[in-house]
């Protein structure tokens, strides 16, 4: 059984890693570690999001050097007039120098929520918090609300994690 330490205690992220392990047939003991991203509450742009994921993976690796370490950071990006949520998954494998890096599918967020979160300050506010305050949904999974239940944050993260785990060399 493979040991995986995730640089987060988020239930969405832990559930997504466990489900991804099942999908790729990787027998794994998955647990979370309270790692910090070093980023704003709402990371903006690819570089900040990747940096946060790598910081989380590095802290997880430092906590348990013989385990596979995973860092996941969700961020937003502006493309023209449209705001998109996405996540970066970083996987660090013991004794392998190069990280595995995968970006999730991007999910569109209505501009009105992004504008409000930006006005409040991305340092302490997320678009999910703004959507939840207005609509009563889970602030950590506005995707379910916005898609009328067709997709969830865990599903979007899971798809990216599956791609990352598929790239782990198998004995």
d(Cα 167, Cα 89) in Å, to the nearest integer? 12
Give the pLDDT of residue 15: 86
Whether residue 128 is predicted with pLDDT greater than 90 in this model: the reply is yes
Give the pLDDT of residue 59: 98
| Joined tokens for residue 44 | 């903006």
| Joined tokens for residue 66 | 């013989």
Q: Give the three-class secondary structure for 40.
A: coil
Whether residue 99 is predicted with pLDDT greater than 80 in this model: the reply is yes
Average pLDDT over residues 97-116: 95
d(Cα 88, Cα 46) in Å, to the nearest integer? 8
Q: Give the three-class secondary structure for 131.
A: helix
d(Cα 161, Cα 10) in Å, to the nearest integer? 15
Q: Which residue has tokens 């929520």?
A: 113
What's the pLDDT tens digit per position in 48-66? Answer: 999 999 999 999 999 999 9
Whether residue 44 is predicted with pLDDT greater than 90 in this model: the reply is yes
| Joined tokens for residue 94 | 């013991």
Residue 2 in contact with residue 68, Cβ under 8 Å?
A: yes
Report the topology of domain 2-110+151-166: Maf protein (3.90.950)
What pTM value is reported for the model? 0.93
Give the pLDDT of residue 171: 66
Give the pLDDT of residue 53: 98
Residue 6 in contact with residue 31, Cβ under 8 Å?
A: yes
The domain spans of the chain are 2-110+151-166
Q: How many CA atoms lie within 13 A of 165 on its CB side?
A: 27
Provide the sign of the torsion angle of the four alpha carbons 108, 119, 139, 14, taken in this order.
positive
- The pLDDT-based confidence of 154 (bands split at 50, 70, 90) is confident
Using a pLDDT cut of 90, give the percent of the chain over it.
89
| Joined tokens for residue 40 | 């704003």
Average pLDDT over residues 124-144: 95
- Backbone dihedral angles phi then psi of residue 23, each to the nearest 5 degrees: -65, -35
What's the pLDDT tens digit per position in 78-98? Answer: 999 899 999 999 999 998 989
Whether residue 111 is predicted with pLDDT greater than 80 in this model: the reply is yes
Whether residue 39 is predicted with pLDDT greater than 70 in this model: the reply is yes
């Amino acid at each position: 059984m493979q040991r995986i330490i995730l640089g987060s205690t988020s239930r969405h992220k832990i559930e997504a890693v466990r489900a991804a392990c099942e999908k790729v047939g990787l027998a794994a003991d998955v647990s979370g570690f309270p790692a910090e991203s070093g980023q704003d509450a709402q990371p903006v742009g690819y570089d900040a999001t990747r940096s946060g994921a790598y910081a989380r993976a590095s802290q997880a690796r430092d906590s348990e050097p013989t385990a596979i370490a995973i860092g996941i950071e969700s961020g937003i990006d502006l493309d023209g007039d449209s705001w998109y949520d996405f996540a970066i998954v970083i996987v660090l494998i013991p004794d392998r120098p190069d990280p595995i890096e995968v970006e999730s599918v991007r999910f569109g967020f209505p501009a009105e929520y992004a504008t409000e979160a930006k006005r409040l300050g991305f340092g302490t506010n997320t678009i999910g918090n703004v959507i939840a305050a207005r609509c009563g949904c889970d602030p950590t999974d506005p995707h379910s609300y916005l898609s009328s239940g067709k997709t969830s944050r865990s599903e979007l993260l899971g798809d990216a994690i599956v791609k990352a785990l598929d790239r782990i060399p198998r004995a």
